[in-house]
Amino acid sequence: MSDKLSLAEFESFLDETCDTLRGNRDAAEFKEYVIAILFLKRLNDRFNLEREVRRNKLIAKGLSPSQIEEDLERREVYRLFVPEIARWEKLKLKKEDLNSYLMKVFAETDEKNRGCLGALNDIDFNKTSANGENFITNSDLVELIKKFDKMKLTDEDLDF
């Protein structure tokens, strides 16, 4: 029996998450937010794995803790770099003004990775409806982050 997440389980999780959070809103209006948070979680999980492997190599080389920490913050040693503002451990503690915070997270992540985010960088977490309400509320974002926090999204954790 595999502990890895299957494609069917993942699809079910996404469907359930979207249905729970979007309420009576159209799925098309809501999916970009779910995809953005999914991408951010996957990026963080892969970055953390790379970072831990790198940390172990630097320890084996006998570098001091300060040298190790300095090296671990070098953008060029990662395939995709997660700036401190975008790190999952920091993001999941944020409970206020997540809409604006996520706009900064994606802008800085895109900047640090030479424009790799494409359309994800254009997602407007502050977008409002005709009646002036946010398409996605702060509490929706807190819940979405909580749901994704339960998942591990490294290659080793996925069965697809």
Q: b/e map of 99-132 (b: 16 or more CB within 10 Å)?
A: bebbeebbeebbebbeeebeebbebebeeeeeee
pLDDT at 1: 44
User: In the chain, where are the structural domains located?
Assistant: 8-46+83-154
Mean pLDDT, to the nearest integer, of 126-154? 92
**Most confident listed range (14-28, 114-128, 129-143):** 129-143
CB 144 within 8 A of CB 21: yes
